[in-house]
Chain A
Amino acid sequence: MAFEAKLQAFNSKVNAVTLGTGDKAITIGGQNVMPFYTFDAAIENPQKVGVEISDLGMEMCTVDGLKDFYAGCNTVVDMAKKAETIEGASFICLHLESADPNGADTSVEDCVKLAKDVADAISMPLVVMGCKNVDKDAEIFNKVSEALEGKNILVLSAREENYKTVGASAGLAYGQKVGAESAVDINLAKQLNTMLSQLGVNEQAIVMNAGSAAAGYGYEYVASTLDRIRLAALTQGDAQLAMPIITPVSTETYGVKESIMPESEMPEWGSMEERAIEMEITTAAAALTGGADAVILRHPESIKTIAAMIAALN
Chain B
Amino acid sequence: MAVKGLDIFKLSPKTNCKECGSPTCMAFCMKVAQGAVPIEQCPHMSDEAKALLSEATAPAMKTIKIGAGDAEITLGGETVLYRHDKTFVSKNVFAVPVCTCMDDAAVDAKLESLKKIDYERIGEREFVESIYVHGEGDKIVDLAKKAAATGRVVIVETTDVDAAKAAIDAIKDTKPVLCGATKDNFAAMNEIATAAGIALGVCGDSIDDIYDTIKALEDAGNKNLIINVTGADVKETLKNAVFCRRGAIKDSDKSLGYPSIVNLSRLAKGDLHLQTAFASLFTLKYGSIIVMEDMTMAEALPLYGLRQNIYTDPQKPMKVEPGIYPINGAGPDDPCILTVDFALTYFLVSGEIERSKVPVNLLITDASGMSVLTAWAAGKFSSSTVKKFFDEFDIASKINNRTLILPGKVAVMKGEIADKLPEWNVVVGTREAVEIVKYLRDGEYVKAAEAAAASKADAPKAEAKVVDENAPLDFERIAASIPEIKKVDMGVTYKTRNVDSQKFITIGERIHCISPTIKAAFDNWDPEPILKRAAEQIAAGATYLDVNIGPAESNGPELMTWAVKLLQENFNNVPLALDTANKKAIEAGIKVYNRTNGKPIVNSADAGSRIDNINLAAANDAIVIALCSADGIAKDNEERMMHCHKMLDLGMSLGMESDDLWFDPLFLVVKGMQDKQMDVLNAIKMFADEGLKSTGGLSNNSNGAPKEVRPIMDSTLVAMCMMQGLTSAIVNPCDKRLMETIKSADIFKNNELYSDSYLDM
Residues of A within 8 A of B (CB): 1-3, 5-6, 8, 36-39, 185, 187, 214-220, 223-224, 227-228, 231, 256-258, 268-271, 274-275, 277-279, 281-286, 289-290, 301-302, 305-306, 308-309, 312-314
Which of B304, B306, B674 lies at the interface centre, i.e. has the most chain A CB atoms within 10 A of its CB?
B306
Q: Are B208 and A283 in contact (CB under 8 A)?
A: no
Smallest CB separation, A229 vs chain B (Å): 11
Smallest CB separation, A134 vs chain B (Å): 16
Contacts A6-B246, A313-B235 hold; do A215 and B211 have CB atoms under 8 A apart? no
**CB interface residues, B 311-357, toward A, < 8 Å:** 312, 314, 318, 343-344, 347, 351, 354
Q: Are A282 and B235 in contact (CB under 8 A)?
A: no
**CB interface residues, B 239-289, toward A, < 8 Å:** 239, 242-243, 246-247, 250-251, 271, 273-274, 276-281, 283-285
**6 pairs from A and B in contact (CB 8 Å cutoff):** A185-B672, A217-B309, A282-B276, A289-B280, A313-B238, A313-B281
**CB interface residues, B 71-86, toward A, < 8 Å:** 82-84
Q: Are B302 and A220 in contact (CB under 8 A)?
A: no
Q: Are A5 and B207 in contact (CB under 8 A)?
A: yes
Q: Is B297 an interface residue (CB 8 A)?
A: yes
Complex alpha-carbon distance, A281 and B271, angstroms = 13
Q: Are B296 and A281 in contact (CB under 8 A)?
A: no
What residue of chain A has the Cβ atom nearest to residue B304's Cβ? A216
List of B residues within 8 angstroms of A277 by Cβ: 273, 298
Q: Return the contact of B211 from the options A3, A185, A289 (Cβ within 8 A).
A: A3
What residue of chain A has the Cβ atom nearest to residue B284's Cβ? A289
Q: Are B305 and A219 in contact (CB under 8 A)?
A: yes
What residue of chain B has the Cβ atom nearest to residue A274's Cβ? B298
Q: Are A187 and B672 in contact (CB under 8 A)?
A: yes
Q: Are A220 and B314 in contact (CB under 8 A)?
A: yes
What residue of chain B has the Cβ atom nearest to residue A276's Cβ? B298
Q: Are B310 and A216 in contact (CB under 8 A)?
A: no
Q: Are B305 and A224 in contact (CB under 8 A)?
A: no
Q: Is B234 an interface residue (CB 8 A)?
A: yes
Q: Are A306 and B277 in contact (CB under 8 A)?
A: yes
6 closest A-B pairs by CB: A216-B305, A3-B211, A285-B280, A282-B302, A215-B306, A274-B298
List of A residues within 8 angstroms of B318 by Cβ: 220
Q: Are B298 and A271 in contact (CB under 8 A)?
A: yes
What residue of chain A has the Cβ atom nearest to residue B234's Cβ? A312
Contacts A39-B239, A289-B280 hold; do A308 and B271 have CB atoms under 8 A apart? yes
Complex alpha-carbon distance, A312 and B232, angstroms = 12
Contacts A2-B212, A36-B238, A185-B672 hold; do A215 and B314 have CB atoms under 8 A apart? no
Complex alpha-carbon distance, A308 and B235, angstroms = 12
Complex alpha-carbon distance, A81 and B389, angstroms = 57
Q: Is B308 an interface residue (CB 8 A)?
A: yes
List of A residues within 8 angstroms of B351 by Cβ: 256-257
Q: Are A215 and B277 in contact (CB under 8 A)?
A: no
Instruction: Give 6 A-B pairs besides A216-B305, A223-B309, A313-B234 with Cβ atoms closer than 8 angstroms.
Output: A5-B243, A216-B121, A258-B302, A284-B277, A305-B276, A309-B278
Q: Are A227 and B208 in contact (CB under 8 A)?
A: no
Smallest CB separation, B326 vs chain A (Å): 14
Q: Are B83 and A224 in contact (CB under 8 A)?
A: yes
Complex alpha-carbon distance, A258 and B303, angstroms = 12
List of B residues within 8 angstroms of A308 by Cβ: 271, 274, 277
Complex alpha-carbon distance, A38 and B279, angstroms = 19
**CB interface residues, B 135-154, toward A, < 8 Å:** none
List of B residues within 8 angstroms of A227 by Cβ: 82-84
List of B residues within 8 angstroms of A220 by Cβ: 83, 309-310, 312, 314, 318
Which of B251, B296, B302 lies at the interface centre, i.e. has the most chain A CB atoms within 10 A of its CB?
B302
Complex alpha-carbon distance, A231 and B210, angstroms = 29
List of A residues within 8 angstroms of B121 by Cβ: 216
Which of A2, A3, A217, A227 lies at the interface centre, i.e. has the most chain B CB atoms within 10 A of its CB?
A3
Q: Is B116 an interface residue (CB 8 A)?
A: yes
Smallest CB separation, A133 vs chain B (Å): 14
Smallest CB separation, A268 vs chain B (Å): 7
Complex alpha-carbon distance, A313 and B235, angstroms = 5
Which of A219, A269, A281 lies at the interface centre, i.e. has the most chain B CB atoms within 10 A of its CB?
A281
Q: Are A6 and B247 in contact (CB under 8 A)?
A: yes
List of A residues within 8 angstroms of B304 by Cβ: 216
Contacts A6-B247, A218-B344, A306-B277 hold; do A286 and B298 have CB atoms under 8 A apart? no
What residue of chain B has the Cβ atom nearest to residue A255's Cβ? B351
Contacts A5-B207, A216-B306, A305-B273 hold; do A274 and B83 have CB atoms under 8 A apart? no
Q: Are A268 and B312 in contact (CB under 8 A)?
A: no
List of A residues within 8 angstroms of B274 by Cβ: 305, 308-309, 312
What residue of chain A has the Cβ atom nearest to residue B313's Cβ? A220
Q: Is B299 an interface residue (CB 8 A)?
A: yes
Smallest CB separation, B2 vs chain A (Å): 18
List of A residues within 8 angstroms of B671 by Cβ: 185, 187
Complex alpha-carbon distance, A284 and B280, angstroms = 9
Q: Is B215 an interface residue (CB 8 A)?
A: yes
Smallest CB separation, B257 vs chain A (Å): 14
Q: Are B84 and A8 in contact (CB under 8 A)?
A: no
Q: Is B301 an interface residue (CB 8 A)?
A: yes
List of A residues within 8 angstroms of B306 by Cβ: 215-216, 219, 282-283, 286
Contacts A1-B215, A216-B309, A312-B234 hold; do A223 and B271 have CB atoms under 8 A apart? no
Complex alpha-carbon distance, A38 and B303, angstroms = 25
Q: Are A286 and B280 in contact (CB under 8 A)?
A: yes
Q: Are B247 and A269 in contact (CB under 8 A)?
A: no
Smallest CB separation, A296 vs chain B (Å): 16
List of B residues within 8 angstroms of A218 by Cβ: 309, 343-344, 347
Contacts A2-B211, A278-B301, A279-B301 hold; do A224 and B277 have CB atoms under 8 A apart? no
Smallest CB separation, B198 vs chain A (Å): 25
Q: Are B298 and A275 in contact (CB under 8 A)?
A: yes
Q: Is B444 an interface residue (CB 8 A)?
A: no
Complex alpha-carbon distance, A227 and B285, angstroms = 12
Q: Is B649 an interface residue (CB 8 A)?
A: no
Complex alpha-carbon distance, A282 and B308, angstroms = 13
Smallest CB separation, B472 vs chain A (Å): 47
Q: Are A39 and B296 in contact (CB under 8 A)?
A: no
List of A residues within 8 angstroms of B215 by Cβ: 1
Q: Return the contact of B281 from the options A5, A216, A274, A285 (Cβ within 8 A).
A: A285
Complex alpha-carbon distance, A1 and B83, angstroms = 31
Q: Are A312 and B305 in contact (CB under 8 A)?
A: no
List of A residues within 8 angstroms of B284 by Cβ: 223, 286, 289-290
Complex alpha-carbon distance, A224 and B299, angstroms = 23
Smallest CB separation, B127 vs chain A (Å): 14
Q: Are A215 and B280 in contact (CB under 8 A)?
A: yes
Q: Is B205 an interface residue (CB 8 A)?
A: no
Q: Are B302 and A279 in contact (CB under 8 A)?
A: yes
Q: Are B234 and A278 in contact (CB under 8 A)?
A: no
List of A residues within 8 angstroms of B302 by Cβ: 214-216, 258, 278-279, 281-283
Q: Is B659 an interface residue (CB 8 A)?
A: no
List of B residues within 8 angstroms of A219 by Cβ: 305-306, 309-310
Q: Is B233 an interface residue (CB 8 A)?
A: yes
List of B residues within 8 angstroms of A6 by Cβ: 246-247, 250-251
Complex alpha-carbon distance, A274 and B298, angstroms = 6
List of B residues within 8 angstroms of A217 by Cβ: 305, 309, 347
Smallest CB separation, B349 vs chain A (Å): 13
